Amino acid sequence: MEYPGYILTRHLPSVKEINTFTDELMAYLFPVTDEPDMFIEHHESMMYKLKEHFMRLLQSVDTGDKLNKDAVADQLFAALAGIKDLLLKDANLILDFDPAASSLEEVILSYPGFYAIMVHRLAHVIYKAKVPLIPRFMSEWAHSKTGIDINPGATIGSPFFIDHGTGVVIGETAKIGNNVKIYQSVTLGAMAVRKEDAQVKRHPTIEDNVIIYAGSTILGGNTSIGHDSIIGGNTWVTQSVPPFSVVYHKNQTIVNDRKDFEEPLNFII
C-alpha cells in the first residue's frame, strides 16, 4: 500500500492556497474598488502576480513534470476575457429572471448560483488542460460555500441560471446547452456508479432553453432532454424526451373533513 495511514504532501498542492487563488482570480474578474483608475493602472501587475501564483500551484501537482506549465497558464489567462463575457450573460439572465434580484452587483456579489457558475467556468478551463487536483479542489471550494456540486468536467453553455441552488449536483460528463435554468436539489447524474465507465459519457445532455424545477433527477449518459422542454418538480427521468416536452410528476393530495378522520394512534403523555 502506497499510503499506509498517511498522505504524502509532495503529491499535493495546498488546498488553502488553491482556495485563496480561486477567490483572488474571481476578485480580479469582478473587482470591488472605489478607485477604478488605480485598478486599471495595476491591472497588468495583478495579472502577473496571479499567474505566478498559478505557476506555483501547477508545480506542486506536476511531480512527474508532465505538464507544459507555461502553456497551461497562458491558456487560462488568455481565456479570462471570454469567461468574463459569459459570466456577465449569466448574471444578466439571473437579473432578468429572478424578481428578487435588484441589481447586477447584487447578483455578482451575493448569488450562490452565480458563484458556483463562476468557479466552474474557471475550473473547466484548467480541467480541459488535464491538470490534476486543482480544478477538483476549486469545485469543492464552491461546493462547500454554496451547496452546489458541479464537476469541473461538465460542459455548460451560456447563459446559465441556477436558482437557489442548494443540493444541485451536475456530473462530470453532463452537457448543458444555452439559456438553461435549474432550481434547487436537481441531479444530473449517472445511471450506475461503475469504475469501468470512467471514460464514457455517464451523465445526461440538456439542450437549449430547458427549465428543470426543484427536486428533479435526470440520469444516464444517453438521456437527452430536448430543447425548450420543461421538467417539473420531483420527477425521475431516465429516458430521453423530445423537444418542447412537458414532464411532470402527478401528485395526489386528498382533502377530507377532519371529523371523518380517525386518529390511527392516541398518544398520552
The rounded distance, in Å, linking the Cα atoms of 115 and 64 is 33
Q: Judge whether 29 and 80 are in contact, CB under 8 Å.
A: yes
CB atoms within 10 A of CB 208: 15
Q: Is the pLDDT of residue 267 over 70?
A: no
**234 in the Ramachandran plot: left (φ > 0), alpha (ψ -120 to 50) or beta?**
left
Band of residue 262 on the pLDDT scale cut at 50, 70, 90: low
Max Cα-Cα span within the chain:
76
- Give the position of cell 482570480: 25
pLDDT tens digits along 156-197? 999 999 999 999 999 999 999 999 999 999 999 999 777 777
Higher pLDDT, 252 or 104: 104
The per-residue pLDDT for 45 is 86
Closest by alpha carbon to 127, among 87, 166, 79? Answer: 79
Region 75-90: mean pLDDT is 97
pLDDT tens digits along 49-63? 999 999 999 999 987
Cα 105 off chain centre by: 20
Region 187-213: mean pLDDT is 89
Calculated CA dihedral for residues 182, 227, 238, 162, nearest 10 degrees: -10
Region 191-209: mean pLDDT is 86
Instruction: Tell me the pLDDT of the chain averaged across its residues.
Output: 91
